Amino acid sequence: METPLLLTIVLLAVPAGFLLFLMVSLQHRRNQASKLFVQGIAYIKLLRGLLTYIQQHRGLTTGFINGNAAAQQDIESLEQNIKRTMSDVDSSGEWMRSNVKWSSLVDHWSRLSVLYMQGDADKNFKQHNILIANLLYLIDDVADVHHLTKVTGDAMDTDWRYLLSIAEYIGQARALGTGVAAKGQCSSVLRIQLNHLRNKIASSVDATWPEQSRSEIHHLLHCIETQLVVDRPSIQAADYFKLATRCIEHVLNQFDRQIERLEYDRG
């Protein structure tokens, strides 16, 4: 009688043990996925701040090279913010610290931060663009590795990664336009570039965005058309920079809303 009883116990214990093992493994995987997600959100928030600072640096240095000497103090302040944020990113986690793209970005910035002093506006603009493009690629990598996919049932919501692309269109237009306004001249090449960016921005404006956001961006587009790509640019560099900056903030507010919703839906 003992043998059948023992066999019964074994036959019951093995599936129960296997089921327990599966449950523990599944919970462990969920915990790991949750930690990965939380770390990814932290990375994204830090990189978003860094992106904003570097885009501003591009705009201010372009204006400085073209004659807006008053931007020097703001440039130095920005460089301190960038240095501090890079330190925060570097100490935020091992994945980032050991990431080759991140190391490359830090190295590129060390050279780029003093490039504007050479006085070559076109080189300064292009090198900033390369650095920012690589930063956007890094943000994409963070999203993929840390599973920060879009979680929403609303088809009208814009993918948060695309919002960063829209902000970059405006950021490039801010830099070029600030340079034009500071110099008081708009070359044929700059007209082509600004008109191209203007069209990119115009086609990206979402009808579901708040009225104030759409209105201010349309005001920026009108300003580019009537006050920059003309024979005699008629807007002050500081005024144009502020207008374009407000437009970028409108787009990034949408970005922040998407990230908050991503956290809420995942939580």
- Read out DSSP for 118-156? G--HHHHHHHHHHHHHHHHHHHHHHHHHTT-----S-TT
> Residue 27's pLDDT is what?
60
Q: Nearest-CA neighbor of 61 among 16, 95, 112?
A: 112
SS3 letters across 40-63: HHHHHHHHHHHHHHHHHHHHHHHH
Q: What is the pLDDT of residue 246?
A: 97
- Over 50: is that where the pLDDT of 148 sits? yes
pLDDT confidence band for 108 (50 / 70 / 90): very high
Scan for tokens 């970059």, then name that residue: 168
Q: Which helix (H) or strand (E) holds 12?
A: helix 2-65
pLDDT score for 6: 67
pLDDT value at 187 more than 70? yes
Predicted confidence at residue 171, as pLDDT, reads 98
Please indicate whether residue 246 or residue 261 has the higher confidence score (pLDDT). Answer: 246
Residue range 151-177, pLDDT digits in tens: 444 443 458 889 999 999 999 999 999
Question: Can you give the pLDDT at residue 123?
Answer: 97
Residue range 39-81, pLDDT digits in tens: 999 999 999 999 999 999 999 999 999 999 999 999 999 999 9
**Pairwise pLDDT comparison (76 vs 32), residue with the higher score:** 76
What's the mean per-residue pLDDT of the chain? 89
Position 157 scores a pLDDT of: 46
pLDDT score at 159:
80
The pairs formed by 187-190 with CB atoms below 8 angstroms and a separation of 24 or more are 190/229
DSSP state, residue 1: -
Contact residues for 196 (Cβ-Cβ < 8 A; gap 6+): none
Rounded Cα–Cα distance for residues 111 and 113 (Å): 6
3-state class (DSSP) for residue 36: helix
Q: What is the pLDDT of residue 153?
A: 45
pTM metric for this prediction: 0.87
Per-residue confidence (pLDDT) for residue 206, from 0 to 100: 87
Give me the pLDDT at residue 7, please.
63
